[in-house]
Amino acid sequence: MAITMPELDAAVLARRDRIVAALCAIVPGEGVIASEQAMRPFESDGLTAYRALPMVVVLPDTTEQVRRVLAYCHRESIKVVPRGAGTSLSGGALPLTDGVLLGMAKFNRIRDIDFANRVVVAEPGVTNLAVTQAVEHAGFYYAPDPSSQIACTIGGNVAENSGGVHCLKYGMTANNVLGCELVLMNGDVVQIGGRHLDAGGYDLLGIITGSEGLLGVITEITVRILKKPETARAVLVGFMRSDDAGDCVSRIIGAGIIPGGMEMMDRPAIHATEEFVHAGYPLDVEALLIVELDGPQAEVDHLIARVETIARECKAVTCKVSASEQERLLFWAGRKAAFPAVGRISPDYYCMDGTIPRAKLPQVLKRIRELSEHYGLRVANVFHAGDGNLHPLILYDANKPGELDKTEAFGAEILKLCVAVGGVLTGEHGVGVEKRDLMPTMFSETDLAHQQRLKCAFDDKGLLNPGKVFPTLHRCAELGRLHVHAGRVPFPDIPRF
């Protein structure tokens, strides 16, 4: 772990007792956790290679408490790290030794279900799956479905702009959120959007979504719900070459078909998952594609036939259409268990998350294989093929000296490769601490300064989740300075009328 976190604030640490007492006054009862043992479960999130004990954990359960905690910390210049369920795969909720960890788990109520406007109003600690469960009796669901949906919270989903296997057709979190109540670091409470489709004014909702807990703490969220499609069927297609699989994906989209889900796995991923789940995957293929079509029966039948034709044209060696709901779920069971399945064949694994233009897939897979040999580390690839979001899983053993460092170096090379072919560092897991220092491979100093000034508008002292997303912290006063030429500047040489 070679990442530098913000310098410890000795003055804050020195008054820890007083800070804990002040927080206890704001959040009474068991809302403040200060003993080392009790804080231990909070020391990391889904990116377990990084750990730190927070100074103190606070678990508020009203907006007013959140407001007072933040206003107090702002006044006292104390850092704050917000946390949902702690399932982040990029270290977004990694605590700071001199910071307050603000856990939102007690905000776990659904406040309103509004079928007429097709929205659910939920507190941020409600799990993703619980939103769907609250409305499925009426045939509705919440579309974004990250793999961690049983545990991850809707507040965390907004912070990370979470995706899932269905986001090619149904969008990411940002496309499914209509409003939120946000508490700023200075204690201001801001209402943004609501139950209408477009919030007025600047699209603050659009930047809060995916802001990784750096702009404010969300205390209420309004999300859209959709009517469940009439039916869904999946096709399992095997290829001898990953190029053919990539070609098949392109041709399906080229034919005007946007599947509900389209996932690819390479040979190591197929073998790991088949041994774990016994989904009936063919073991003699190089690439496996799951294509799911959803909608009215008539539409699904029509499109499945077209997908089968395209698959055959792309030299598919196996092609199996789910004949029942049970079989469809079995097709998915392997893919959905890909991470734990890989976890069974290796002591540890490191999950990467880059997006690439899909056409570059063969080139990227080839290079990943070369790097795998170079580093002497195995890789299994799962791929949200429809939107180009690649998840290479690097297999390693943390107990072998130096292997984690080697893994991180390998991972960084994969992400740089994604950027080099026209892609991006992260498709859905977020930058967090994990990819923070790679940001300059995608963004210039000027790009990052414009992003950081936005942070300054929300958090003038840089107290909310510092050390995440941005490789270098600048003071807002320094960022705000505008350099204008002192003397007169000639009228620029631009055509004028």
Partner 1 sequence: MTDTLKPRDNKDVEDAVRWALAEGKTLEIVGHGSKRGIGRPAQTDATLDLSGLVGVTLYEPEELVLTARAGTPIAEIEALVASRNQQLAFEPMDYGPLFGAPGGRGTIGGILAANLSGPRRIKAGAARDHFLGMTAVSGRGETFKSGGRVVKNVTGYDLCKLMAGSWGTLAALTEVTIKTLPRPETEATVLVLGMPVDAACKAMTVAMGSSCDVSGAAHLPADVARNASGDLPPGAAVTALRLEGVAPSVTHRRRALEAVLQTFGKLTALDHAASQALWRSIRDGLPLIATDPAAHGALWRISLPPSEGARFAARMPDSARILFDWAGGLLWLRVTQRGETLAPLVRDTVRACGGHATLIEAVTALHRVTDVFEPQDGSLGALTKRVKEGFDPNGVLSPGRMWAGV
Footprint (CB under 8 A) of partner 1, residues 248-277: 250-251, 253-254, 256-258
Nearer to partner 1, 301 or 370 (CB): 301
Of residues 27 through 56, those in contact with partner 1 by CB under 8 A are none
Using CB under 8 A as the binding rule, whether residue 434 contacts partner 1 is answered as no
| Residues 299-328 close enough to bind partner 1 by CB under 8 A | 299, 301-303
Closer CB to partner 1, 227 or 344, in the complex:
227
Q: Can residue 160 be called a binding residue for partner 1 (CB under 8 A)?
A: yes
Q: How far is the CB of 53 from partner 1 (least distance, A)?
A: 28
Residues 232, 293: Cα–Cα separation, whole Å: 6
Please tell me whether residue 113 binds partner 1 under the rule CB under 8 A: no
Dihedrals φ, ψ of 132, to 5°? Answer: -60, -45
Shortest Å, Cβ 28 to partner 1 = 26
C-alpha 28/C-alpha 159 separation (Å) is: 27
DSSP string, 277-346: H-----SS-SEEEEEEEEESHHHHHHHHHHHHHHHHHTTEEEEEE--SHHHHHHHHHHHHTHHHHHHHHS
Nearest-angstrom CA–CA distance, 468 and 212: 8
- Residue 437 as a binder of partner 1 (CB under 8 A): the answer is no
* Interaction of residue 440 with partner 1, rule CB under 8 A: no
Question: Per CB under 8 A, which region of 46-54, 198-206, 313-321, 331-339 contacts partner 1?
Answer: 198-206
Task: Give the one residue of 203, 275, 327, 437 binding partner 1; rule: CB under 8 A.
Answer: 203
Using the contact rule CB under 8 A, the part of the chain among 43-51, 269-277, 363-371, 452-460 near partner 1 is 452-460
Q: Which of 76, 75, 73 is nearest to 58 (CA)?
A: 73
Query: Which CB, 54 or 164, lies closer to partner 1?
Result: 164
- Cβ–Cβ under 8 Å, residues 308 and 319: yes
Q: Which of residues 220-239 bind partner 1 (CB under 8 A)?
A: 227-230
Among 41, 347, 357, 376, binds partner 1 (CB under 8 A): 357
The answer to whether 468 contacts partner 1 (rule: CB under 8 A) is no
Burial class of residue 485, CB neighbours in 10 A (0-12, 13-18, 19+)? exposed
Measured from the CB atom, the residue of 339 and 458 that comes closer to partner 1 is 458
Among 16, 106, 195, 461, interactor with partner 1 by CB under 8 A: 195
User: Considering only residues 427, 462, 466, 467, which one is a binding residue for partner 1 as defined by CB under 8 A?
Assistant: 427
Strand partners, 100: 56, 80
Return the residue of 189, 333, 345, 404 that touches partner 1, per CB under 8 A: 189
Q: Which stretch binds partner 1 (CB under 8 A): 48-56, 93-101, 169-177, 259-267?
A: 169-177
Choose the binding region for partner 1 from 31-39, 122-130, 298-306, 398-406 (rule: CB under 8 A). 298-306
Q: Does residue 283 interact with partner 1 by CB under 8 A?
A: no
Tokens 């774990």 correspond to: 276
Closest CA to 459 of 444, 474, 472: 474
Q: Report yes or no: 162 and 142 within 8 Å, Cβ to Cβ.
A: no
- Give the count of residues interacting with partner 1 (CB under 8 A): 109
**303 C-beta neighbours (distance < 10 Å), count:** 22
Gap between the terminal Cα atoms of the chain: 58
Return the closest-CA partner of residue 246 out of 366, 405, 120: 366
Smallest distance, Å, CB 54 to partner 1?
25
C-alpha distances (whole Å) from 198 to each of 124, 154, 178, 189 are 21, 20, 7, 20
- 114 forms part of the interface with partner 1 (CB under 8 A): yes
Q: In the bound complex, what is the minimum distance in angstroms from residue 462's beta carbon to partner 1?
A: 14
* Residue from 43, 108, 456, 461 binding partner 1 (CB under 8 A): 456
- Pairing of the two strands 389-396 and 354-355: antiparallel
Smallest distance from partner 1 to CB 200, Å: 3
| Cβ within 8 Å of residue 336, ≥6 positions away | 147
